[in-house]
Structure 1
Amino acid sequence: MLMNTPEEEIDDYMPRGNKTQIASVRVQKKKKNDGLQQEQLRPSTQRGDIQMQMRESVTHGRPLKTQTARLLCPSDSRPRPFLERRVAAGRRVFKCAMSSLMAQPSGEATQALPSVSPGIQRRHTLPASEVRPLNAQDAVSVFEIEREAFISASGECPLHLDEVRHFLNLCPEFSMGWFEEGRLVAFIIGSLWDRDRLATEALTLHKPRGSNAHIHVLAVHRTFRQQGKGPILMWRYLQYLRCLPNVRRAVLMCEDHLVPFYRKMGFKVLGRCAVTVGALTFKEMYYPISGHAYMRRNSEAIRFPNAPLTLPPARANDR
């Protein structure tokens, strides 16, 4: 035996006109419920279409439809900013990739594009090692190294700060500095002298017409000592002097305990120096700037074939 529902039992006792009105209301209510269910299911059913359109816009450069950007937020009439940024970024990547492929030859177009990460790009840095002439801006660094090297040993500086600036402004081409990552680690300061032996005036004067390169000071920063930087810098300085047309000798004065150090670099003893600083006395040494390299590139015999080549007279100590 079938049982009637409460609504059907009520219909049995209601007039016919009322029954028709109630039926039409039920049909409208059912349609409204069906429409709400479809609206709720629409974003989830079209999510795959949204992802597909985004992939096509990134890969093929197709513009993304405005209504697609609004599907995830149907109540908001404005597209989401993050979605617009992703689409714009995809277009830029696509354009860059296509431009690089078009720039390559046809045989290389099939190669994979190299991936460069910003984290592994080389940054701009100072050169690891550099040897160059000094200038007036380097005077303070020069004097700090010189003061630590000489005052701790002998109590006197070969050149004071004003004298360092004087020579670096007057004849910077006769100076040489060794820099590592922009830091001065060793240096040489020199000038020209026009006599065979050094005199007291040679400590402060520069003679542009002289033929002797007077080496005032060679110093190395305390952190970089015992590494061979002094002899290497001196060797480079002597090779540099070979390229100067008027230089015939390199001369210097040093204390007695430094004579073996300069002997190893090729210097020879001229004798006791006439210059004294307080109670300190010095030995005068020289290095001949001559030979095949000098004759080949800078000799006056090449510049003036008829002029005789004059060298300083040999002394008994030179033999």
Structure 2
Amino acid sequence: MPILTLRNARPTDAARCFAIETGAYEGDEAATLEKIATRIRLYPEGFLILEADAEVVGFINGGCAHDVVMSDEAFKELVGHSAEAPNVVIMSVVVDPAHQGKGYSTTLMNAFVQRMQALEKKTIHLMCKDRHVPLYQRMGYRYVQPSASDHGGMAWHEMVMDL
């Protein structure tokens, strides 16, 4: 069993996170290196890294908003982000394809939820593909609606968890 460690991201993690994101996501779905670096710099409390035996194998990141508009593409660069806002928007939950199927995404999600609760956030929002809706429902998210976003040229669904 590998030793798992959870920690907040550091600027030096950006390149590894970009490699994981581009390896795991389809087409234009992956964030750019610049977006990842911006998310780490502007809100490291919302960028959680998972290490297995000291190797970065996955991460989850998000930003906070007073009014959540899931189709807002600028928010992916944390334009409009306010660390004090009560609502969290998850932008990526991703595990290196070589480490998928080990429960790491659930580990990341559970730890992220606990950290956001400790920060006294009120809701966590995310968008997912159709095939992931049941997974997030099992984690406690409720379905909101099909999203107006066509990020990466794909269809998305909006979900929310009340904390």
Return the TM-score normalized by structure 1.
0.48
In structure 2, what is the Cα distance between the partners aligned to 1:199 and 1:193?
A: 13
* Equivalent in the alignment of 1:177: 49
Greater helix share, structure number: 1
2:112 to 237, 256, 265: 237
In structure 2, what is the Cα distance between the partners aligned to 1:217 and 1:182?
A: 21
Is 1:130 matched with 2:2?
A: no
Identity of aligned residues (%): 25
SS of the aligned residue for 2:25 comes to: helix
1:156-201 deviation digits (Å, cap 9, x = unpaired) = 2341100000010000000111112220011101111221442313
* Equivalent in the alignment of 1:191: 63
* Conserved 8 A contact 1:177-1:188: yes
* Conserved 8 A contact 1:158-1:216: no
In structure 1, what is the Cα distance between the partners aligned to 2:85 and 2:148?
A: 19
In structure 1, what is the Cα distance between the partners aligned to 2:159 and 2:153?
A: 20
Relative contact order: is structure 1 or structure 2 higher (C-alpha 8 Å, sep ≥ 6)?
2
Deviation at 1:143, TM superposition (A): 0.7
In structure 1, what is the Cα distance between the partners aligned to 2:151 and 2:115?
A: 29
Aligned length: 159
Give the alignment's Cα RMSD to 1 decimal. Answer: 1.6
In structure 2, what is the Cα distance between the partners aligned to 1:278 and 1:156?
A: 4
* Equivalent in the alignment of 2:22: 147
Is 1:157 matched with 2:32?
A: no
Q: Which amino acid aligns with 2:42?
A: L
* Equivalent in the alignment of 1:283: 157
SS of the aligned residue for 1:242 comes to: helix
* Equivalent in the alignment of 2:100: 225
Is 1:212 matched with 2:87?
A: yes
Q: 1:270 to 1:207 in 2, by over 3 A?
A: same
Greater strand share, structure number: 2
Q: 1:193 to 1:199 in 2, by over 3 A?
A: farther
Q: 1:174 to 1:278 in 2, by over 3 A?
A: closer
* Conserved 8 A contact 2:68-2:89: no
Deviation at 1:203, TM superposition (A): 2.0
* Conserved 8 A contact 2:50-2:58: yes
* Equivalent in the alignment of 1:249: 123
- Show the 5 A alignment for 1:63-102: none
Deviation at 1:278, TM superposition (A): 5.1
Q: 1:179 to 1:199 in 2, by over 3 A?
A: same
* Equivalent in the alignment of 1:89: none
Gaps of 5+ in 1: 1-126, 290-319
1:214-271 deviation digits (Å, cap 9, x = unpaired) = 10000111221111111121011101111003x1100011111111121111111111
